[in-house]
Amino acid sequence: MNYSKNLNKKTIAKRLMTSWVIIAVVSLVIGLLVGCAVKGHMTAKEGVKTGQGTTERVTDDFAVYGAYDDKIFTKEIPLDWETGDEDFKTYDVKMLLTEQEYLFYLCKGYNIDYSLMMAVIQVESSFDKDVVSSSNDYGYMQINKMNHAELTKILGVTDYLDPEQNMRAGCYIFRKLFEKYQQPNLVLMAYNMGETGAKRLWREGIYETEYTQKVFAAQKSLQEGD
């Protein structure tokens, strides 16, 4: 009888030990799975916060933005450049050669892809320097009137239908957005719909729109000479 009791105790102890081992293994597996899920969620959130996004736009054979340089611009670049850069390319569009060259050097100073800005102008205004939209967007790059006062204070721009002044304002805006969000698709969304509207879509996992697709298509067409 005593032997039986001891055997039962040993059996019970063995079963308890086995149960604890099983519980420990299951808990470890669940912990790892939850950890991975949380890490993925935090990465997605951080991606939107820093402008990296959770999906990267894969470009084919064309560049949309040069290597990010980590510079922060607090004022406009110097406008006393020398012309004659061998990389300057003209496009067969309704825009004066002198205006295209002016934009080229603006983009070079801000380290923004020249063809991307040309594509933005094509989509925004169809190269009509005098257009004013019903929502008070002006000129080539459709600079909204609500931004005029601040841009005038920073850049000294006074005429937003003047092609050169308009492009100065537009490139400065793009440079500041690139400093925040870095990826071209995020920058384009913020430029087109405002940062508040763009962030709302990013929180929903949306990182491109019809507008960004139009700009990228126009850029590729320009680069390929279509």
CATH class of 97-224: mainly alpha
Q: In the prediction, which pLDDT does 82 show?
A: 76
Taking a C-beta distance cutoff of 8 angstroms, is the pair 184, 116 a contact? yes
Host H or E run for residue 40: helix 2-50
Q: In the prediction, which pLDDT does 74 show?
A: 76
Q: In the prediction, which pLDDT does 226 show?
A: 57
* Residue 42 token pair: 């935090």
Q: In the prediction, which pLDDT does 21 show?
A: 53
DSSP state of 138: E
pTM of the model: 0.70
Q: What are the average pLDDT values for consecutive 10-residue runs of the chain, which has 226 residues?
A: 41 56 53 38 32 34 52 79 81 96 94 95 98 97 96 96 97 94 94 96 97 96 86
Q: At 132, phi and psi to the nearest 5?
A: -130, 120
